[in-house]
Chains A and B, each alone.
Chain A
Amino acid sequence: MNNEINIADLINSNKKFKDNEFKNKLNLAILRNITVDPIVECLINDFAREDIGLKTYMGDFDKIFPEFLDSESNLFKFNPDVIAIHLNLSLISPKLIYEFSSLNKKGIEKCKDDVLSYFNKILDSAKFFPSTIFILHKFEIPIYPTFGIIDSKMSSMQGETIASLNKDITQLFSKNNNFQFVDNNRILSKLGEDRYYDYRYWSIGKAPYKINALSSFSKDYLRICRAKLGKNSKCLVLDCDNTLWKGIIGEDGISGIGLGSTYPGNNFVEFQKAILDLGNRGVILAIASKNNHEDVIDVLNNHPNMILREDKFAVIKANWNDKPTNIKEIASDLNIGLDSLVFIDDNKFETEMVKEFLPQVRTIHLPDDPSVYRNLILSCGFFDSLTYSNEDKNRGKMYKAESKRKVLKSSIDSIENYFESLEMKLTINKVDSFSIPRISQLTQRTNQFNLTTKRYSENDILGFSTNKNSDVLYAELEDKFGNMGIIGASIIVYNNLEATLDTFLLSCRVIGRGVEDRLLLETIKLAERNKAVKILSKYEKSKKNNQVADFYDKRNFNIISSSQESKHYSFDIGNSFDTPSYFKEVNILHDN
């Protein structure tokens, strides 16, 4: 968030935007009593990235009121949609900045009144530009007051004087929604003195700001204009696992997820508090999670440290369908446009898929470090609006909609194209000494995509792998986002012409991508090479593996018997089922 802005790259990038057809166009004028020229390149770039084509006009140095009062002025001819005004306090009221200790109480009041009447004149001028948005800046509190340490304590001194001046100024414009403010003090505190002020350029050319400061102003201007254009978002759609809490509810269970006062769960509590705060100011909250509905509701209502309870969400889509389909349903349930949604997920697979199929939805991919989540959601600016009232506050409550639990068929046609674009590389191999620990771990931990839920120690796996009558296979997956390591395993046991699938499981991170089909196929082929003519398998029902109840049924396995607790299957070698063709690479590393 505090990156260095490279001006040459900006200018180069802006050349490419020059010939773009932009969805929106804006005329932005800058009036100023200081030099801020590099901000123009920042503005053109920031706005272009939001599909807004910007034309800019830089008023002459310290020429502000003549622009307003002369109907033939360049400002009028420019026909601005937005007028930003940069004023430096040391030039409007030099005594307040340079001679503060010479002022008595009356003197300070006079200085403040003079500045306020300056702004009153600006307010008056607004009548010549009735539909224009004005952007004003709050004055910086001087970092080095003449009174030194005591200035921080006494309300009659410089720091408090300028703070109260800022307050009076914003108060002046409180009834006019066309006037918006940038708080320079927030930006100064975010960047720090060295990255904000340029004392050399201030001296040479009355240019007080470094490029990073100007870039920060530019981003605030964008937020204001985006809100003016009605391009702000109304609804925040959240993933659950590793987004609202640390861990995976379907695997770790309600007492195993991280959410509480200690690391790392505390980061997620903070994140939830920020989301709740957004909800209370009018942002609609929704969930799109790949989980069993009951598991999610259980956490929402029964976890002691959960901040966001079920009733805070207008819609909850927790199922095994793809997220773009769920998000489309959320938009339609709430009767709002897709472009009013913001989607957050820690998994790049999900955010990229949503970007691909629903480009109007704004996506935020959460990085690995959860300590930044809270700031990320609070700084994104997607929910900005130019007004705030009690109606906004209550908006979230009006949207509580019926959450539909029915798992609908995916409405995405070209999911296979998306999978192909992931450039997935699948490796299937027999277990070795390096992979035994991981495979044992998978059998201990995998609950949802696990057909028989048999738990094995490393010794057990070693036993299966060294025994002539059994084999252990693992699947390893890599895609363009990274290497996921070993994410699936199968154990097959031979008995004359029959082979039994003792274990078949997949990490829940890769469910729905076809890895299971390929692993199953290779397991069957291995059995065939070991003289089997028939495969036997079983679905052993558990509390958590409901989603694989029909796994074998859907792959042309025949049901031999079934009961409340289990289903037994057989599969004749020579039979077949569909396997995906969109993997970029499939490496079968074992040669027998």
Chain B
Amino acid sequence: MTIEKRLKSVFSKLFGVQESEINTDSSPDNIESWDSLNHMNLIIAIEQEFKISFSMDEIVEMLNFELIVLILSEKINE
């Protein structure tokens, strides 16, 4: 499974949206339950799914779907 697919699955479970509704434009602006409360849950869930640990610099950059994919790709290819 690609990074995007796995990430969409996490998003879907966390925010209660269909995987098909998630794309590179997805952000707190267009996903209703993506608020600051859930943002922390999201980061934890991504760490648990990919079994990695983000640095603080990475966490503060993870503002929307596209950026998260970018950061994840860089991290996993390290």
Tell whether, in the assembled complex, residue A8 and residue B14 are in contact, meaning their CB atoms are under 8 Å apart.
yes
Complex Cα distance, B14 from A563, in Å, reads 75
Complex Cα distance, B33 from A37, in Å, reads 14
> B44 to chain A: which residues have CB within 8 Å?
7, 38, 211
> A40 to chain B: which residues have CB within 8 Å?
37
Tell whether, in the assembled complex, residue A8 and residue B40 are in contact, meaning their CB atoms are under 8 Å apart.
no
Complex Cα distance, B56 from A289, in Å, reads 57
Tell whether, in the assembled complex, residue B49 and residue A200 are in contact, meaning their CB atoms are under 8 Å apart.
no
* Chain A residues numbered 26-73 whose CB sits less than 8 Å from any CB in chain B: 35, 37-38, 40-41, 58
* Contact mask for chain B residues 27-51; partner A; CB cutoff 8 A; 1 contact, 0 none: 0000000000100110011001100
B56 to chain A, nearest CB (A): 5
What total of chain A residues lie within 8 Å of the partner, measured CB to CB? 21
In the assembled complex, B75 has its CB within 8 A of some CB on chain A: no
In the assembled complex, A549 has its CB within 8 A of some CB on chain B: no
Complex Cα distance, B71 from A555, in Å, reads 75
Complex Cα distance, B56 from A204, in Å, reads 7
> A12 to chain B: which residues have CB within 8 Å?
13
Q: A4-B48, A6-B48, A200-B54 are in contact. Are A11 and B41 (CB under 8 A)?
A: yes
A296 to chain B, nearest CB (A): 48
Chain B residue nearest to A9 in the complex (CB): B13
> A9 to chain B: which residues have CB within 8 Å?
13
Complex Cα distance, B58 from A289, in Å, reads 59
Complex Cα distance, B56 from A35, in Å, reads 16
Tell whether, in the assembled complex, residue B16 and residue A205 are in contact, meaning their CB atoms are under 8 Å apart.
no
In the assembled complex, A564 has its CB within 8 A of some CB on chain B: no
A37's contact among B13, B37, B45, B48, by CB below 8 Å, is which? B37
Complex Cα distance, B54 from A204, in Å, reads 12
In the assembled complex, A157 has its CB within 8 A of some CB on chain B: no
A38's contact among B16, B41, B59, by CB below 8 Å, is which? B41
In the assembled complex, B76 has its CB within 8 A of some CB on chain A: no
> B40 to chain A: which residues have CB within 8 Å?
35, 37-38, 201, 205, 207
What total of chain B residues lie within 8 Å of the partner, measured CB to CB? 16
Tell whether, in the assembled complex, residue B41 and residue A200 are in contact, meaning their CB atoms are under 8 Å apart.
no
Q: A4-B48, A8-B13 are in contact. Are A41 and B41 (CB under 8 A)?
A: yes
Tell whether, in the assembled complex, residue A7 and residue B45 are in contact, meaning their CB atoms are under 8 Å apart.
yes
In the assembled complex, A390 has its CB within 8 A of some CB on chain B: no
B21 to chain A, nearest CB (A): 16
In the assembled complex, A15 has its CB within 8 A of some CB on chain B: yes
Complex Cα distance, B50 from A49, in Å, reads 28
Q: Is the interface of B mostly helix, strand, loop or mixed?
A: helix
In the assembled complex, B10 has its CB within 8 A of some CB on chain A: yes
Tell whether, in the assembled complex, residue B60 and residue A204 are in contact, meaning their CB atoms are under 8 Å apart.
yes
* Contact mask for chain B residues 15-27; partner A; CB cutoff 8 A; 1 contact, 0 none: 0100000000000
Complex Cα distance, B32 from A386, in Å, reads 41
B41's contact among A4, A37, A205, by CB below 8 Å, is which? A37
In the assembled complex, A389 has its CB within 8 A of some CB on chain B: no
In the assembled complex, A387 has its CB within 8 A of some CB on chain B: no
> B77 to chain A: which residues have CB within 8 Å?
none
Chain B residue nearest to A205 in the complex (CB): B40
In the assembled complex, B55 has its CB within 8 A of some CB on chain A: yes
Complex Cα distance, B48 from A41, in Å, reads 16
Tell whether, in the assembled complex, residue B56 and residue A200 are in contact, meaning their CB atoms are under 8 Å apart.
yes
Complex Cα distance, B44 from A207, in Å, reads 12
In the assembled complex, A203 has its CB within 8 A of some CB on chain B: yes
Tell whether, in the assembled complex, residue A11 and residue B14 are in contact, meaning their CB atoms are under 8 Å apart.
yes
Chain A residue nearest to B42 in the complex (CB): A7
> B45 to chain A: which residues have CB within 8 Å?
6-8, 11
Chain B residue nearest to A37 in the complex (CB): B37
B62 to chain A, nearest CB (A): 11
Tell whether, in the assembled complex, residue A200 and residue B59 are in contact, meaning their CB atoms are under 8 Å apart.
yes
Complex Cα distance, B17 from A12, in Å, reads 11
B77 to chain A, nearest CB (A): 22
* Chain A residues numbered 211-234 whose CB sits less than 8 Å from any CB in chain B: 211
Complex Cα distance, B55 from A11, in Å, reads 24
* Contact mask for chain A residues 1-33; partner B; CB cutoff 8 A; 1 contact, 0 none: 000101111011001000000000000000000
Tell whether, in the assembled complex, residue A7 and residue B41 are in contact, meaning their CB atoms are under 8 Å apart.
yes
Tell whether, in the assembled complex, residue A8 and residue B54 are in contact, meaning their CB atoms are under 8 Å apart.
no
Chain B residue nearest to A207 in the complex (CB): B40
> B37 to chain A: which residues have CB within 8 Å?
37, 40, 58
Complex Cα distance, B45 from A204, in Å, reads 17
Tell whether, in the assembled complex, residue B48 and residue A8 are in contact, meaning their CB atoms are under 8 Å apart.
yes
Complex Cα distance, B54 from A41, in Å, reads 22
Complex Cα distance, B46 from A7, in Å, reads 9
A56 to chain B, nearest CB (A): 11
A200 to chain B, nearest CB (A): 5
Residues of chain A having any CB pair with chain B under 8 Å:
4, 6-9, 11-12, 15, 35, 37-38, 40-41, 58, 200-201, 203-205, 207, 211
| 5 more CB-based (< 8 A) A-B contacts, given A7-B14, A201-B59 | A4-B48, A9-B13, A11-B13, A200-B59, A204-B56
23 A-B residue contacts at CB 8 Å?
A: A6-B45, A6-B48, A7-B45, A7-B48, A8-B10, A8-B45, A8-B48, A9-B13, A11-B13, A11-B14, A12-B13, A15-B16, A35-B40, A37-B41, A38-B40, A38-B41, A40-B37, A200-B54, A200-B55, A200-B56, A201-B40, A204-B59, A211-B44
Which 9 A-B residue pairings sit nearest by Cβ, starting from the closest? A8-B45, A8-B13, A7-B45, A37-B37, A12-B13, A200-B56, A7-B44, A7-B41, A38-B41
